[in-house]
Amino acid sequence: MHDPSPTPDRAAEPYRWRWLILAVMIVAEIMDLLDASIVNVAGSDLEKSLGAGSVGLQWVIGGYALTLGAGLVLGGRLGDRYGRRRMFLTGLAAFTACSLLCAAAPDIGSLITFRLLQGAAGAMLLPQGLGLLRENFTGPELTKVFAIFGPVLGLGGIIGPVLGGFLIEGDFFGLGWRSVFLVNLPIGIAALIVAATSVPRKAGDPTVRVDTTGAVLVVASCALLVLPLNQGQEAGWPLWTWLSMGASVTGFALFALQQRHTAAAGREPLVTPGLLRKPAFTVGLGGIALFFGGLIGTQLVLTLFLQIGRHFTAGQAGLGNLPLAVGTAIGGAVSGAFLADRIGRKVLQIGPLVQLAGAAVLWSELDGLDAASFSVWEIVPGVTVAGVGAGMVIAALFSFILAAVDDAEIGSASGVLSAVQAVGGSIGVAVFGSVFFARVRTGDFAGGFHRALIVQAGLLVAFLAITFLLPRKGRPEEEQHGVTPGAPGSGTGEHLTPSGS
């Protein structure tokens, strides 16, 4: 094995093992993202094995995304302070251990608890990947890395149900749904070994102060938002659910004020203030929340419709998600290879229009379904078209936002970006699950899917509207590393307004 101790220097020769770093980052973070959706197809098995109801299933899925999203901003700052290599290895080890605990869960309460811990471990792991890539790649190579990294991360969550269905249907060694979590063990251990020997050691910055007050506010605000969304439908939306959501809004507002006060006092906030002065970053975060909330929520409803409404097995439901994964891959390839660089933000506007077209096709397909003779092929066209539109957005959105970020801001930016994606997905699971199950109680499965499509259409229209606030083009490559003339290496972000804004 080689010695990982030398720290790569941007002015020196590129780090020899940098492409191996990219490989292990992709493997580890896909493992993380897969677990956000891989249990979507496990509903029936969890109900039989652990007695999980609809609320329990939403918590197994949404609870993971909740702690992941709530802890990601803190995870990014911990990487700044203690070193990204150390936090990456720690998060990966903890994530792998929590996967084993999930697989061994004796009841639904234990599984939910272990999923919450698994999400917290993921929050330590996920933000480090983007930072490590920015530390080890520069110039045109970095552009290529993000062109690979963004779409792969987007696809990681999409193919989760496909893999989950295969594992549950195969019932390998009689493990059933438990194999969904056990599959992480060999992957996690292998990734740990490779990362420990290939990722260079680079000390963190001990002068970085971790804002614990801000972290507590974020965690509390996220919990106050997701808790009533998961429990409200089952409980009949009592007063406490509305008070909780109102308190969540207040908590996020207090967090914003506390971050400003922390920065003004000369201390380190969780969110670097310069990030919020960049239109491509701030508007892009809103887009990520809307887009992934709709995408993940609709994917959940598709899986529930196939399993509960049409009595598909886990394996069949997993295959039912395959057209979405294939469409996403096609859309991502077209966007990344041909469109994003040529037409800029227009690809972010074409994508949701294609998704809306797919939703319209799917709506008409649902209208014509015969429950007695239903085949998944009847909805393949609509699901595939929607997937193509999703892939176009995923491939471009990450690159567009990350282009606005300086090297000095990458820890904070990675945490914020990933947190918004995870919390948006968690909210999507809660909202779409509630909308679907409200109709399912009357036996109207197609109606539940129709309502979910209406919600998704609203989110896509909102996403399309805010894309017009983005700059027409991402920031030029030479400006992405603090080398803009007149402000070399400043890292403040004030000179980095994206062109075309």
* 343-395 pLDDT tens trace: 767 888 899 999 999 999 999 888 877 666 778 788 889 999 998 998 888 86
At 177 the pLDDT is: 84
CA dihedral over 330, 333, 336, 342, signed as positive or negative: negative
- Burial code (b: 16+ CB inside 10 Å, e: under 16) for 188-201 equals beebbebbbebbbe
Place of tokens 């809660």: 430
Quick one: pLDDT band at residue 121, thresholds 50, 70, 90? very high
- In this prediction, residues 483-493 reach a mean pLDDT of 35
What integer best gives the mean pLDDT of the chain?
78
Phi, psi (deg, nearest 5) at residue 356: -65, -40
| Average pLDDT of the segment spanning 110-118 | 92
Identify the weakest region by mean pLDDT among 8-22, 69-83, 167-181.
Answer: 8-22
Q: Is the pLDDT assigned to residue 330 strictly greater than 90?
A: no
Identify the weakest region by mean pLDDT among 1-15, 72-86, 155-169, 424-438.
Answer: 1-15
CA distances (Å), origin 345, targets 105, 151, 401, 461:
45, 16, 11, 15
Residue 154: predicted pLDDT: 58
> pLDDT tens digit string along 95-108?
999 999 999 998 88
Name the band, by pLDDT with cuts 50, 70 and 90, for residue 146.
low
Rounded-to-integer distance, Cα 68 and Cα 120, Å: 5
Measure CA of the first residue to CA of the last residue in the chain; give whole Å.
48
Which residues have C-beta within 8 Å of that of residue 147, sequence separation ≥ 6? 336, 395, 399
Indicate if the pLDDT at residue 204 is higher than 50.
yes
Tens of pLDDT along 426-442?
Answer: 788 778 888 888 887 77
CATH number of 18-210+270-479: 1.20.1250.20
